[in-house]
Structure 1
Amino acid sequence: MSVTTTCRDLTELLPVAQTACRLLFQECYKAGIRNIFITETYRSQERQNYLYTQGRTRPGSIVTWTLNSNHKSRLAWDIAVAPPQSLYDVATLNKVGAIAQKLGITWGGDWTGNIDRPHFEVKSTWRMPTGYQLEGEVIVPSNSKLRVQLIIKDKKEEKMMSNIWNPASPAMQTAAEAFLAQAVKDDIIQASHLKDLQNKQMTSDRLLGLYITISQRRNKTGIVYH
């Protein structure tokens, strides 16, 4: 990957960070904050070095003050705010930061000196706080066109999908891959979902959640596929 390319793939983070990020977005959703999205997850040392030179030996304003970021350790992620609000709307980021504090997630807005409100990270030892759990499929947007979603499925839906979806069927696998591939192309879901399906890491309830999300999105935009 080029040093100029931003990675927004949540699955590039360590599992503990993925869980923490999903929990944060879930609690934001429940608090009515649904216009935030991921702008960067994993960052290589080469990219970190490249960003560090900006505003120093390369044109532009300074965007980082360190060569040793937790993005390199796959334990950090950055977010932004979708229009019509400004990209780094302080009021929104402060609300997200307050939720992160309750979850034991480090927020860059709490730092002294080098405040970084869009930045969130966890230690490798982070554990989900007592009283919290992932309540369903959390849709974490990677662009400003999508909104945070929490899809909670009832037992009837799960049973229905378990009866319909057979991952051992080549025909079903091919059809599901084509469906998700089109959704990725249309910028409705992240490519990581398609990757998990192809790697046989897709559960039936998660696939159902994606189907509902994609269908709802297409209904809103009026997109029709044959």
Structure 2
Amino acid sequence: MIYESTRTKERQEELVDNGKSQTRKSYHIVGQAFDFVPIVNGKEGWNSYDLELYIKYAKSLGFTWGGDWKGFVDEPHLQFEYKGYGTDKTLENKPKPPVYPGKIIKKGSKGKNVQLVQKELGINADSIFGPITDQAVRNFQKKNGLSVDGKVGPITSSKLFN
């Protein structure tokens, strides 16, 4: 059962003040974390954290588990850090993906479309497709099972912006 997901800043401050959290910059505030408890025989199973299979699956999706933390361990906690704190707030705040511009964006390209790609990849958006952008595109392509060529054509663009 998920018992807490998005929090207000005030709620997070209260938890820090009470020693139940360690940071005021929580992924809960930006909608990228949740706390859960297993239900065992119809009741909350606070002492039944035999969830290895579920935690392994969540990690394979890109979640970080609070049970792996050093120092302050937070076992009922999962957070999503794919592009960093506050980048995946809500779908309603996410701008509509740009339409594929009709030409391949690659090393040496410049301009607004390069900047959009860089922003989506979470790297410095200087509008110049240089070696850092090339490597970020290649990493994205590899991670998403695409042909790794460092070019943003219709297939990579579609996957990147959806």
Q: TM-score, normalised by structure 2?
A: 0.46
Q: TM-score, normalised by structure 1?
A: 0.34
Structure having the higher Rg = 2
Say which structure is richer in helix: 1
**Which structure carries more relative contact order (alpha carbon 8 Å, separation 6+)?**
1
